[in-house]
Structure 1
Amino acid sequence: MTSLNPSSPSLGSKYLGGAGAGPRSRSFIARHPSVLIFIAALAIFTIGVTILAEGFGIGVISTSFVKTLGKTLCLCMVALAMDLVWGYCGILSLGHMAFFGIGGYAIGMWLMYARTELIVVQSLAAAPLPPTSGEISQGIATQIFGVVGASEFPPIWAFAHSLPLQLAAIVIVPGLLALVFGWLAFRSRVTGVYLSILTQAMTLALSLYLFQNDSGLRGNNGLSGLQNLPGLSDTPQSTVSIWFLWASALALGLAYLLCAWIVSGKFGSVIRAIRDDEARVRFLGYSVEAYKLTIFTLTAVIAAVAGALYYPQAGIINPAEIAPIASIYLAVWVAIGGRGRLYGAVIGAAFVSLVSTWFTGGQAPDINLGFYTISWVDWWTVLLGLSFVVVTLFAPKGIGGLFDMLPSPKRHGADLGPDAGSLRESEADK
């Protein structure tokens, strides 16, 4: 009779990709050269843009396009999170852009507060008497919330004056939200389309709440002027854009290393097994809910960090940015790039983001059919939807599947998993 112990090499080890394998002699990078290739490509890209940009280089690339590239790197980072939770763990979350937006709001609150504080202090400097801290706080609140008819800080802004606390909020707030939501959903064993609907409902509820003027985040007006860093008013945007490009590239590189490390070990083998046959993994004795909750919370934090870097480059954030359609777009990016491949998620997000910028920015020429003129600004979303359908039907591996056509080193033994690059039996024993 076959053992049902998770450590059993006859069932648990083989199904879970080497769960019972011994220590491996080679380093992580040696076993996964694609990680090194990605990091090297990202470094070359960042250096190349820096040299060609206006801030530190020869000025071939405009500042606005540098910001577009920086934002694209942030979108690649949230796509990584989506691929980890969906492509590897099988949880189709239609709410991860909500965490992305929460990260943007968290850093945006500090940016607005600090910048407005400088303006208020400067305007009150000419007063006969030095302003008190209460007068300064009142002036800041009036400047920020006057647009919604308020003049006092809501409780949610209690720590907006502190950069360290707001940076902590980027991680803590979305992490706690994901932890609570995931615990309630996973302990009830909600799966499949029902879980997707729940995540979408969470996003819709958050978006509708933020649209209200009394939400404490300026309602539909959102937070604006985020591209102006406090205390750096004399620093040109060409320089600031390069700084954010570097920060975005660093964050993307670290996120890729983290995700690659997670999916390459036993933990990654278990979450792939959960994706393929959750009931069997539970029967083997693994705590499926704990694994799913860990991945859901971790990817929420990654998405929030990406949002915190994205919106200072975008300059504005409002509730429309975290509407459910944004999370649907995110799933489309990952599917087009290649679900279940980290580099596929990055390729998909980068490809769709840059092509979208080209089509919606008026750079793509309109097509005159005589009886009708196709304006790509209006038809881009239709084209994106058709691309998703075509990829789903005819190229389920996405753009990343093209790499399967490249010659690869000869490997021996049977597959220990359905994904490209899975361990082989002979390799798992090394």
Structure 2
Amino acid sequence: MQQSFITKNPSVLVFLAILALFTLGVTLLSEGAGAGFISTSFIKTLGKTLCLCLIAVAMDLIWGFTGILSLGHFAFFGLGGYMIGMWLMYERTRLIVVESLSQSEIPATTAEITDAIGHQIFGVVGSSDFPLIWAFADSLFLQLALVVIVPGILALIFGWLAFRSRVTGVYLSILTQAMTLALALYLFQNDSGLRGNNGLSGLQNLPGVTASQDMVSLWFFWGSALALGLGYMLAAWIVSGKFGSVIRGIRDNEARVRFLGYSVEVYKLVVFTLTACIAAIAGALYYPQAGIINPAEIAPIASIYLAVWVAIGGRGRLYGAVIGAALVSLLSSWFTGGQAPDIPLGFATIKWVDWWLVLLGLSFVLVTLFAPKGIGGLIDLWTELRTPDRHGADLGPDAGALREQEAQQ
């Protein structure tokens, strides 16, 4: 009898149940629901954390299961944010310009409105003309499509060039990091068409929406939770089937998998492109909650942090990636937000804002040396120590090799 996906993977159901209860609990305690126990700013922090958990799942899929240490996935994350940010900034500016020009005695023409919008958006970089990449900024549907199309095409082209050349190991990691650095340096330029170092701002304001920020933050929180749930299910479905067995084989012994007749490069390319699209969706949900995006968000150090999260949580375990990203993200907000009390030592004072990165780096080193399976390994240890529920199953070569009576001994 064919078992369903959930039956074969009960951990997925457990994860979805925990995520649903967490989402419901936060909603009921939020300011938007009227309880007021959780502030709107913290709702945004939780929503952004869920987005980081989603990109961590993507990172675990490409690194933990396929064995490709990509140090460039935050580039796709940032591109997703830029794509949706272009529409948010354009539409919000358009509404402001139209309302302002409507007070004129002579109605403004379409060209005048477009020029005014361009001046408002690009005046900070000394321009008023819309670059070609803003051609679809007035269409929400097309910009949503570009959220996955642009990062997907970039990942497809880069992956095809890298994998067909059979670049592996640390050399591939360096290439992905170089790609991220090149993209960040390009976006820093004013003539990149994305306002250079100024980036895109005001993304937290949804055009045409009169709801309060309390409700808007909840909407994005719900969207982030839904995206994480769907992304987790997709990743679990991929790794639980034949495709998952092949990519784990590539991780463990690429040459042997190629000898068996599998097209290793195709499998790598599919996973690399798919995870890039997942990362872009996470970014498209993250930056409207952050309110701003600039090229510094795409710096290579961000992708290194992502690898640290997955390593601390436990790579090769989807729930481990979620645990690592959530734990480090929330701790980072606590330490760098000035909420952690300083520790006076007499001769000096430990300020966690300055020492957080040192603590994070030390945690990564300790996990690598003494707990290579990460936090997720503790869950594995607990499940392995439990008494197996055999129920008289035949566990030997012959029928009746181990029955209920023997299983209880």
- Offset of 1:373 from its aligned partner? 1.1
2:248 is aligned to: 272
CA distance in 1, matches of 2:260, 2:105: 76
CA offset digits 1:345-398 (Å, max 9, x no partner): 000000000000000000101111112111110110110000000000000110
After superposition, the C-alpha distances for 1:181-237 in whole angstroms (9 at most, x for unaligned) are: 0000000000000000000000000000000011000000000000000001x3111
Gap regions ≥5 residues in structure 1 = 1-23, 415-430
- 3-state SS, counterpart of residue 129 of structure 1: coil
* Alignment of 1:190 onto 2:172: no
| 2:179 maps to which of 183, 195, 202 | 202
Q: 1:248 aligns with which of 194, 211, 224?
A: 224
Corresponding residue for 1:124? 101
Correspondence 1:261-410 to 2 at 5 A? 261-407=237-383, 408=386, 409-410=388-389
**Partner Cα separation in structure 2 for residue 173 and residue 285 of structure 1:** 32
Cα shift at 1:57: 3.7
Letter in 1 for 2:372: P
TM-score by length of 2: 0.94
Partner of 1:28: 5
SS of residue in 1 equivalent to 2:21: helix
Rounded to whole Å, the distance in 2 between the matches of 1:73 and 1:324 is: 21
- Secondary structure of the equivalent of 1:321? helix
Q: Distance in 2 between matches of 1:85 and 1:405?
A: 24
- The 5 Å alignment of 1:417-428 reads none
Identity %: 77
> Does structure 2 conserve the Cα–Cα contact (< 8 Å) formed by 1:50 and 1:57?
no
1:86-97 matches, cutoff 5 A? 86-97=63-74
Return the letter of the residue paired with 2:64: G
Shift of 1:25: 1.8
How many residues align structurally? 390
Structure 2: give runs of 5+ residues left out of the alignment: 396-409
Distance 2:22 2:34 in 1: 14
Deviation at 1:405, TM superposition (A): 2.9
Moved more, 44-53 or 24-33: 24-33
For residues 81 and 234 of structure 2, what CA distance do their matches in structure 1 show?
Answer: 22
Alignment of 1:59-208 (within 5 A): 59-208=36-185
Q: 1:179 to 1:59 in 2, by over 3 A?
A: same
Cα RMSD (Å): 1.2
Cα offset, 1:70, TM superposition: 0.2
Counterpart CA distance in 2 for 1:139 and 1:25 is 62
**Shift of residue 56 of structure 1?**
1.4
Letter in 1 for 2:338: G
The Cα of 1:404 is off from its aligned counterpart by 1.7
Give the one of 203, 218, 229 matched to 1:226.
Answer: 203
Higher mean alpha-carbon deviation, 398-407 vs 336-345, is at 398-407
State how far apart, in whole Å, the 1-side matches of 2:242 and 2:42 are. Answer: 41
| Aligned equivalents of 2:267, 2:377: Cα separation in 1 | 27
User: How far apart, CA to CA, are the structure 1 residues paired with 2:141 and 2:394?
Assistant: 51
CA distance in 2 between counterparts of 1:159 and 1:25 reads: 46
TM-aligned CA deviation for residue 406 of structure 1: 2.3
User: For 1:406, what is the secondary structure of its paired residue?
Assistant: helix
Structure 1 pair 229/34, CA: closer, same or farther in 2 (3 Å)?
Answer: same
8 A contact 1:138–1:151 mirrored in 2: yes
In structure 1, the partner of 2:25 is: 48
Deviation sequence 1:313-333 (CA, Å, 0-9, x none): 000000000100000000000
Shift of 1:413: 10
* Aligned mates of 1:371, 1:199 — CA distance in 2: 44
Alpha-carbon distance between aligned partners in 1 of 2:348 and 2:136, rounded to the nearest angstrom? 54
How many Å separate the matches in 2 of 1:99 and 1:372?
41
SS in 2 for 1:92: coil
Provide the residue aligned with 1:18 in structure 2: none
Structure 1: which amino acid aligns with 2:368? T
CA contact (8 A) 1:107 1:166 kept: yes
CA distance in 1 between partners of 2:316 and 2:182 (Å): 29
Deviation per CA, 1:103-157: give whole Å up to 9, x if none: 0000000000000000000010011111111011000000000111111101110
Partners of 1:37 and 1:106 in 2: how far apart? 34
How far apart, in 2, do the equivalents of 1:333 and 1:397 lie? 12
Contact 1:55–1:242 under 8 Å retained in 2: yes
C-alpha distance in structure 1 between counterparts of 2:131 and 2:6, whole Å: 48
TM-score w.r.t. length of structure 1: 0.89
1:266 CA drift (Å): 0.2
Quote the offset at 1:410 in angstroms: 4.5
Give deviations 1:59-86, integer Å, cap 9, x for gaps. 1000000000000000000000000000
